Amino acid sequence: MKIEEQIKILSKELRQHNYNYYTLDNPTISDYEFDLKLKQLQRWENQYPEFADKNSPTQRVGGEITKNFETVVHENRMYSLDNSYSKEELYEWEKRIKKLIDGDIAYVCELKYDGASISLTYENGVLEQAVTRGDGTQGDNVTANIKTIKSVPLKLAGKFPLKFDIRGEIVLPFEGFNKMNEERLVKGEEPFRNPRNTASGSLKLQDSREVAKRPLECLLYNMAGVNLGVQTQFESLQLARLMGFKVPKAAQLVTSINEVFEFIDYWDTHRHALTYETDGVVIKVNNLQQQEELGFTAKAPRWAIAYKYKAEQVSTRLNEISYQVGRTGAITPVANLQPVELAGTTVKRASLHNADQIQKLDVRVGDEVFVEKGGEIIPKIISVDLTKRPKNTKKTNYITHCPECQTPLVRQDGDAKHYCPNYQGCKTQMTGRIQHFISRKAMDVEGLGGETVSLLVDEGLIKDYSDLYGLTLEQLLPLERMAQKSANNLIAGLAASKQITFERVLFALGIRYVGETVAKKLAKHYKNIQALANATSEDLINVDEIGIRIAESVVDFFNSQENNLIVEKLTNFGIQLSLSEQLLANQTDKLKGSSFVISGVFERVSRKRLKQLIEDNGGKISSSISSKTSYLIAGSNMGPSKLSKANKLNIQMISEDDFLDNII
């Protein structure tokens, strides 16, 4: 038998043994026998490198060094989940989705594992890349490290889609975590704090051999792509298992919200016996067509929700209340606490939100306070233990002046926050705006971080974000910790950011209330910064989903002479302050004033493409039929209630062909 064939046969055998051991928990040979076979394969690959496979089982041992992790844009965005903390909230969620889709609804209940989110891309059954969640739009390429995790198949078994993403969590089982800490203590090293953070940190280790030493596992729960060959979420989990992925067996298909509650109640008790960290349950609409009809909000799918188990609470002493100034001038009071362990991390600070919250809690320095993690992420004070309050404590009086520039604070009627109005002169606001400008979701300037921004402001080299583009190597090199390479990277990062699209630049400007979604709508409507700057409040309110608060904020921004000078400087530096010609060429006003509802299954184009065509031509998309609906685009298998409502309201129904051939 030829050596190439021997290598292929042994590789296939070892992949099967890996699957048996790490995914099925059913090994068929001893560790010793496995190691002998793996060493044999390694010898052959070293001797005949032309026959070595980049996804060979030998790659599990690591060896690749990654100094800088490449940023990769997710082909299919990784959304966050909306959280719920009570069964009443789940009832409300079900009511919302039943208004939007027809027919019976089944749900898949899955445990919410607490690890590091990952997206694996497979093409032709082979692992091509592994990318961290990042900000949901883009993440870091950690493929070399992920290949060392034994439960991640490098090649798939059975039938599989030609190309797809599969999402999951990288977790560190309790047993492995405890063993790692025992070894660290023997060496006199500081133990790791908790499994989740250790798993997350492992993905960014530069030496994949070190990652290979850690007993990480990958639990998969969601497939993304086209032509997946399945009709439901539950089918996708079954398919993933057949392809060789480790899919938790706890997932359950149910047909009512009451069965969802039974699943939640069962695991509220039994989750403590699991070998991994969990913090809740994820409930998903099972039917993928119904998922598609429900769609997404700006941040989360409408067809899924997380139920979080009651957050852990601890008590500790409030040592001091300090005040932070945000980039918009908003003041946030912060409780500085006696350090305390909470949900696997050491908590030293907690948000007090605003003056009303301080008054409501009557919280005072020296109090013993109860702290929990809101959504088990951000610590917050929930109450005061009045039985332990020291005598003669002073009532907390909210500050009256900015802690940074001493400007008297203002508070508008109906606003919970106090603000520092010194927009141009408060250094903390200036620094915050620049840090927002360079952030990943905005201009994404490589080589420039928050500390460097603060240094540049302190040295007087920049006063606003437009000054960044005038920086020179001669100005940067004398700065502390600024070597030649760092300075070159910073200048190169700024040059590259000039290609960032208009909607992201608009978000980067930091106009109050203009987040990512609003920035996209404004960019699409006004096409360029000058048209937006000339818009009145009345004009802005007529833009889809723009309310009076956003409109007034935009007008206020462009009424500032300083802001207009900054925009002028950005224009002169070549920043993209208008939609590209390519985008403009694809956009018309043909459908302006028309509102569309899309329902059913389509053959010529995807639902996503239909939505894009409507928006590119000035139309509006709605998830539910109302008297304001202009057209219902009806595909096959459209729900009967939508059909009935459309007939009742006399809404014009058109087919996919009608829309593509006649409307556009």
pLDDT of residue 63: 59
Query: Residue 224: pLDDT above 70?
Result: yes
Q: What does the block give as tokens for 259?
A: 């069965």
Nearest-CA neighbor of 81 among 167, 22, 193, 203? 167
Q: Please report the pLDDT score of residue 446 as a whole number.
A: 87
pLDDT of residue 66: 73
pLDDT at 240: 96
What would the mean pLDDT of 440-462 be, rounded to a whole number?
90
Return the pLDDT at 293.
87
Predicted pLDDT of residue 27: 77
pLDDT digits (tens, 9 = 90+) for 612-627: 888 888 888 887 888 8
Q: Where are the domains of the chain?
A: 3-61, 73-306, 313-388, 427-499, 502-584, 595-663
**pLDDT tens digit string along 568-603?**
999 999 999 998 776 666 677 888 888 888 888 888
User: What's the whole-number mean pLDDT along residues 92-96?
Assistant: 94
N-terminal to C-terminal alpha carbon distance within the chain: 61
Identify the pLDDT of residue 19.
Answer: 74
Measured in whole angstroms, the distance separating CA 602 from the mean position of its chain's CA atoms is 29
Tell me 465's DSSP state.
G
Do the Cβ atoms of 371 and 337 come closer than 8 Å?
yes
CATH fold group of domain 595-663: Rossmann fold (3.40.50)
- What is the rounded CA–CA span in Å between residue 626 and residue 597? 9
**Is it the case that residue 18 has pLDDT exceeding 80?**
no
Over 60: is that where the pLDDT of 62 sits?
Answer: no
Beta 83-84 vs 304-308: how paired, if at all?
parallel
Is residue 86 over pLDDT 60?
yes
CATH topology match: 427-499 vs 502-584: yes
- The predicted pLDDT at position 628 comes to 87
253-262, 448-457, 576-585: which is most confident: 253-262
Check: CB of residue 168 under 8 Å from CB of residue 220: yes
Mean pLDDT for the stretch of residues 282-307: 91
* Token pair listed for 126: 């082979």
Kindly state the average pLDDT of the residues 644-658.
Answer: 87
Which residues are CB-contacts of 208 (< 8 A; sequence separation ≥ 6)?
Answer: 62, 63, 64, 65, 66, 144, 145, 147, 148
Kindly report the CATH class assigned to 313-388: mainly beta
Res 453 pLDDT > 80? yes
The mean pLDDT value for 47-52 works out to 79
Predicted confidence (pLDDT) at residue 376 exceeds the cutoff of 60: no
Give me the pLDDT at residue 147, please: 92
Half-sphere exposure of 453 (CA within 13 A, CB side): 24
pLDDT, residue 22, reads 63
pLDDT band at 243 (very low <50, low <70, confident <90, very high): very high
Question: Is the per-residue pLDDT at 400 higher than 90?
Answer: yes
Separation between Cα atoms, residue 634 and residue 625, nearest integer Å: 12
Identified catalytic residue from 112, 147, 308, 520:
112
Q: What is the structure's pLDDT at 61?
A: 65
The span from the CA of 636 to the CA of 430, in Å, is: 54
Angle of the 561-572 helix axis to the 548-559 helix axis, nearest 10: 80
CB within 8 Å of 549: residues ≥ 6 apart: 513
- Report, as an integer, the average pLDDT of 533-542: 92
Which tens digit of pLDDT belongs to each residue from 631-642?
899 888 777 778
What is the domain class of 502-584 according to CATH? mainly alpha
Query: In this structure, are residues 302 and 96 in contact, taking their beta carbons and an 8 Å threshold?
Result: yes
Bigger pLDDT: 601 vs 344: 601
Q: For residue 283, what pLDDT is reported?
A: 98
Name the CATH superfamily for 3-61: Helix hairpin bin (1.10.287.610)
pLDDT at 466: 96
Q: What homologous superfamily is domain 73-306 in, according to CATH?
A: DNA ligase/mRNA capping enzyme (3.30.470.30)
What is the H or E stretch that residue 304 is in?
strand 304-308
Confidence of residue 55 (pLDDT cuts 50, 70, 90): confident
Q: What is the pLDDT of residues 484-515, one digit of tens each?
A: 988 999 999 999 999 999 999 999 999 988 98
For position 137, what pLDDT does the model report?
85
Among 56-70, 385-399, 501-515, the minimum mean pLDDT is found in 56-70
Answer yes or no: is pLDDT of 333 > 90: yes
Q: Read out DSSP for 52-106?
A: --TT-GGGGG---B-SSPPEEE-SS------EE-SHHHHHHHHHHHHHHS-S---
User: Mapping DSSP to helix (H, G, I), strand (E, B) and coil, where does residue 131 land?
Assistant: strand
pLDDT of residue 88: 93
Higher per-residue pLDDT: 249 or 545:
249
**Residue range 508-531: average pLDDT?**
91
| Architecture of the domain defined by 427-499 | Orthogonal Bundle (1.10)
So what's the pLDDT on residue 612?
A: 83
Count CA atoms closer than 13 A to 468's CA, side-chain side: 34
Q: How far apart are CA 129 and CA 26, in angstroms?
A: 28
Across the chain, mean pLDDT equals: 88
> Quick check: is 373 catalytic?
no
Q: Read off the pLDDT of residues 264-291 as tens digits, 9 standing for 90 and up.
A: 999 998 988 899 888 899 999 999 989 9
Looking from the CA of 619 toward its CB, the CA atoms found within 13 Å total 24
